[in-house]
Structure 1
Amino acid sequence: MPELPEVVVTLRGVSPHILGKQVASVSVREPRLRWPVTEGLSSLLVGQTLLEGRQRGKYMLFRFASGHLMIHLGMSGNLRIVTAGTPVGKHDHVDINFVDGTVLRYSDPRRFGTIQWLEGLPEEHPLLHHLGPEPFDDAFCGDHLYRLSRGRKVPVKQFIMDSKIVVGVGNIYANESLFHAGIRPTLGAGKVSRVRYVELVEQVKRVLASAIEQGGTTLRDFVGGDGKPGYFKQELYVYGRAGESCLKCGTLLKEIRQGQRSTVYCPDCQR
């Protein structure tokens, strides 16, 4: 599943090609996504100029004069820029065609994403109103995690992956951030001190920023805005390295399952 860095990289990749341009037509070849494509999307968009593109969690919000186009990539979706007349693939479900011949194409083999038209404040939409702060916002801080974690027995890894707590800390980045903060992922969230949460916040911000800078983690289904796969060139310290030696202390890394997801950690470096 594309995580927050992939979403940010995708948005940055496609935005320069479409901002300030007017929509000429919309082609919806398959409306049956996880949440159906808004009916009559073409009539809502044609003639409008794209004013801004921004991200909220894993949702991309493209602002027009009368509303926002909200796009979520689901588990296997991607956006890319193509030119008019580019052959359509089996999983190319929606095209936003601009007057200059630029096409924003949405592809999604598993159809777990969504494309919806929103009027009013996007943050009031049912899919967005419950979301916690963005990881790079000042509201995401050690005090925030410490306050919300008091009395919570849920493991700290699952706690920071809860989008009501903070958005965008997916499985890969939770593993890496906890390793660099020296916190064992099985530790109850309520047992983590304020000082350790301050360190964890710093590591979350650093790991995500590095991933965004390098272009996102390589995922089989992810294709960037320029049609090239994204790459996470920074070395992963624990994710995907179960049974290998810790790059800091040499201890063999352990793997467990938490919430049906793989968790890898160092028994010595993480306490």
Structure 2
Amino acid sequence: MKRNFPLSFVPRCVAAAGVLAVMPGLSFAEGGSPLADASSVYGQKGPSSRGLTVATGDERPEGQWTLYGTAGIGYAPRYSGSDESSVVPIVGAGVRSPNGFFLSTDHGLGWETQALDSTFRFYVAPSASRKDHKKGFQGSDKLRGLGDIKSRAQIGMDAETMVGPVTLSATIAHAFKKGDDRDVGSAYTLFNLGASTTVYEGSAGAVSLALSGTFGDGNYMRTWYGVSNQQSVKSGYRAYNPKGGLESIGLGATWTVPMGKDWSWTMAAETRRLFGDAADSPFVKERNQFSVGTMVTYTY
């Protein structure tokens, strides 16, 4: 059913945007702060995704405001390369305007436009983060001495285009320097390539598959997988200086079932394998990473 929002709705959208702006850590399904995309060390857009895809609501007709909220629960590795997993909350929210501007936990603040039969998205969002000790569903004691990787400002661009039934995507993101600690605060750049397609759509909902590969520059690899001499002394791990290149390849699946005109239920799962210098890191205990989650989404 089409919704034409009155002017009184605009202040509500502004208020919602203000709330979203101060809660970047809520996309807990991209390890750190908000999913997907390419903020996460799992190649997702949300750094807190830990390998899970967070549903972002149904598309509404052009010229309409859209608000969505997602809540659920998942089970994911404690860090990229961990042999331990934990139960994690999945929370997502966002607002999209008719002119392409958006504010959400999966992409932060940005603008989306269509050109050349493709979709382009530009945004500013918090980067991924990681604790070097176990605290609730975050971090691991196996990282002690490596230091916390704190979230910092990150800019990104997504591009998507359809080739037959397949959606091809590319993301480039750059996280800015955070503090003076080169081990955990260096600026870094990552690149993600993906392909997805819907393999079933019918009375039981829709099932989609997605294949993605994540690449990082030298600073990215050193931040997430390296061990400096100083970190080696504190953690007991051997010193390790990884080079830039392929970090991981992942295969994900989502099953979305409509529950009325505004609600939907989603199951998401991903298997991801670390490669190259990322896989050879001394604190990577398991190259194969698995995540699964379930969530409900309301779109208004």
Q: Same fold (TM over 0.5)?
A: no
Between Structure 1 and Structure 2, the one with more helix by share is 1
Larger RCO: 1 or 2 (CA < 8 Å, sep 6+):
1
Which structure has the larger Rg? 1
Q: TM-score, normalised by structure 1?
A: 0.29
Q: By percentage of residues, which structure has more strand?
A: 2
